[in-house]
């Protein structure tokens, strides 16, 4: 046993042994929330976690729906009780002046500064290139956003290994002469994939959990269309991106067991295009339209989208602006996202 202050916190004692129960038992989100509530009541005068932070949900200006405050915290951990304890301890210190933006900032900063360091320290025996702090930060600086296509991953892999991308097929991703940062990140639980839910068959986001077995080689890295950067890395990567911004997708929530809808690939295309859009007003208008479309899609009301857009002043401005700028590709993606099986986009 040691106090959480050894990991940058000072709330209550926890086990931090890599091979302890916290890392080999399987915890559901309900288990973790119940555990956090019990510990909070013990150390905060009977308050539950949400009562302590005085926050039921957190919101993002571009998101269609608020996110449960505990789930926001959970997404920024690796599913271990001690991760939640470390962040909750920091929140406890600041609870009297904790605003919604302050809550988000503390969660993001603590996960980046403390949890990520702990993970790399605990996994160092399994790591090669990412065990070296300089090389780890160099790799993170190459990541432009938190959802990567397979092509993005290959380009970054080649850049990190100083390999001509045209030689990638000749060398192959499993070559022993290359360094494999994506596999190491995946093994540490910090790189996710889009996979089929074994229970329901729907696509979900999956990050390696503490109870999962470790793959023996880089060949165990899944070959998928999309890779996902763990939210706990966002704050750290943003500080390393000296040559360009680090973008977090606004309309797709990234985290273990978060859904991956059939329209998310189109959303990725649209938001990637917006990352490059210099016109702030147009960018915000498109985000406003996306917010309304995604809200209807998530509610299963796709057939109402065309009617909503026909009445939307924002959509009229977006449509006219895109036509004037001849941005046919972006308009095509918006149309693909919005059109239902029976209605035409206005």
Q: Which of 273, 283, 227, 275 is nearest to 248 (CA)?
A: 275
Q: Note the pLDDT tens digit of each residue in 214-250.
A: 655 555 578 899 999 999 999 999 999 987 899 999 9
**Greatest mean pLDDT range, 66-75, 174-183, 202-211, 238-247:** 66-75
Pair (274, 203) in one structural domain = no
Range of the domain at 212: 129-240
- Helix, strand, coil content of the chain in percent (nearest 5): 55, 10, 40
Residue 255 lies in a domain: no
Residues 140 and 46 in one domain: no
pLDDT tens per residue across span 261-317: 999 999 999 999 999 999 999 999 999 999 999 999 988 898 899 899 989 999 999
In this structure, the answer to whether residues 138 and 208 fall within a common structural domain is yes
N-terminal to C-terminal alpha carbon distance within the chain: 63
3-state per-residue secondary structure call for the chain: CECHHHHCCCCCCECCCCCCHHHHCCCCHHHHHHHHHHHHHHHCCCCCHHHHHCCCEECCCCCCCCEEHHHHHHHCCCCCHHHHHHHHHHHHHCHHHCCHHHHHHHHHHHHHHHHHHHHHHHCHHHCCHHHCHHHHHHHHCCCCECEEEHHHHHHHHHHHCCCCHHHHHHHCCCCCCCCCHHHHHHHCCCEEEEEECCCCCCEEEECCCCCCCCCCCHHHCCCCCEEEECHHHHHHHHHHCCCCCCECCCCCCCCCCCECCCCHHHHHHHHHHHHCCCCHHHHHHHHHHHHHHHHHHHCCCHHHHHHHHHCCHHHHHHHHHHHHHCCHHHHHHHHHHHCCCCCCCC
Nearest to 116 by CA among 90, 89, 82, 78: 78
What is the number of domains present in the chain? 3
Q: Per the domain annotation, does 192 fall within a domain? A: yes
Does the residue 300 lie in any domain?
yes
Locate 192 and state its tokens.
């996710």
159 in a domain, yes or no? yes
Pair 179, 186: CB distance under 8 Å? no
| Span 11-25, pLDDT tens digits | 444 444 444 444 457
Give the pLDDT of residue 341.
40
Q: In the prediction, which pLDDT does 214 show? A: 64
Instruction: Tell me the Cα Rg of the chain.
Output: 21
**Does 245 fall in a domain?**
no
Tell whether 247 is covered by a domain. no
Q: Is there a single domain that holds both residue 225 and residue 322? A: no
Q: How confident is the model at residue 178 (pLDDT cuts 50, 70, 90)?
A: confident
In the predicted model, is pLDDT for residue 177 greater than 80?
no
Residue 205 lies in a domain: yes
Domain boundary residue, one of 65, 95, 122: 122
235 and 168 co-located in one domain:
yes
Both 62 and 160 in one domain: the answer is no
Average confidence score pLDDT of the chain: 86
Residues 223 and 118 in one domain: no
Residues 213 and 292 in one domain: no
Residues 166 and 235 in one domain: yes
**In the predicted structure, residue 3 carries a pLDDT above the cut 50:** no
- Boundary of a domain, candidates 191, 207, 240: 240
Q: Strand, helix or coil at 68? A: strand
Verify that 288 and 327 share a domain, yes or no.
yes
Last-in-domain residue among 66, 101, 122: 122
Q: Report the range of poorest mean pLDDT among 52-61, 169-178, 188-197, 281-290.
A: 169-178
Residues 34, 118: one domain? yes
DSSP state of 16: -
Give pTM, 2 decimals.
0.88
Question: Residue 333 falls within a domain, yes or no?
Answer: yes
């Amino acid at each position: 046993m040691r106090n959480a202050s050894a990991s940058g916190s000072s709330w209550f004692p926890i086990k931090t042994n890599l091979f302890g129960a916290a890392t080999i038992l399987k915890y559901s989100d309900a288990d973790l929330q119940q555990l956090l509530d019990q510990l909070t009541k013990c150390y905060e005068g009977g308050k539950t976690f949400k009562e302590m932070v005085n926050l039921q949900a957190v919101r993002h200006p571009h998101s269609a729906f608020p996110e449960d405050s505990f789930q926001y915290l959970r997404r920024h951990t690796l599913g271990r009780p001690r991760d939640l304890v470390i962040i909750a301890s920091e929140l406890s210190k600041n609870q009297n002046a904790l605003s919604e933006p302050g809550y988000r900032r503390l969660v993001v900063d603590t996960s980046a500064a403390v949890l990520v360091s702990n993970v790399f320290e605990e996994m160092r025996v399994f790591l090669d290139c990412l065990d070296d702090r300089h090389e780890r930060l160099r790799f993170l600086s190459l990541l432009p956003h938190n959802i990567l296509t397979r092509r993005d991953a290959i380009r970054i892999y080649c850049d990190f290994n100083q390999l001509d991308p045209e030689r990638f097929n000749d060398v192959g991703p499993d070559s022993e002469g290359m360094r494999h940062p994506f596999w190491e990140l995946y093994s540490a639980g910090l790189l996710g994939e889009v996979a089929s839910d074994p229970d329901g068959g729907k696509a979900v986001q999956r990050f390696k959990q503490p109870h999962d077995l470790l793959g023996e080689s880089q060949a165990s890295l899944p070959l998928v269309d999309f890779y996902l950067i763990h939210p706990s890395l966002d704050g750290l990567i943003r500080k390393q991106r000296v040559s360009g911004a680090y973008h977090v997708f606004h309309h797709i929530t990234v985290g273990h067991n978060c859904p991956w809808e059939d329209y998310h690939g189109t959303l990725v295309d649209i938001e990637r295009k917006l990352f490059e859009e210099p016109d702030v007003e147009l960018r915000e208008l498109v985000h406003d339209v996306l917010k309304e479309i995604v809200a209807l899609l998530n509610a299963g009301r796709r057939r109402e989208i065309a009617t909503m857009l026909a009445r939307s002043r924002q959509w009229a401005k977006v449509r006219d602006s895109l036509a004037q700028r001849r941005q046919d590709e972006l308009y095509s993606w918006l149309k693909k996202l919005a059109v239902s099986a029976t209605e035409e986009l206005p």
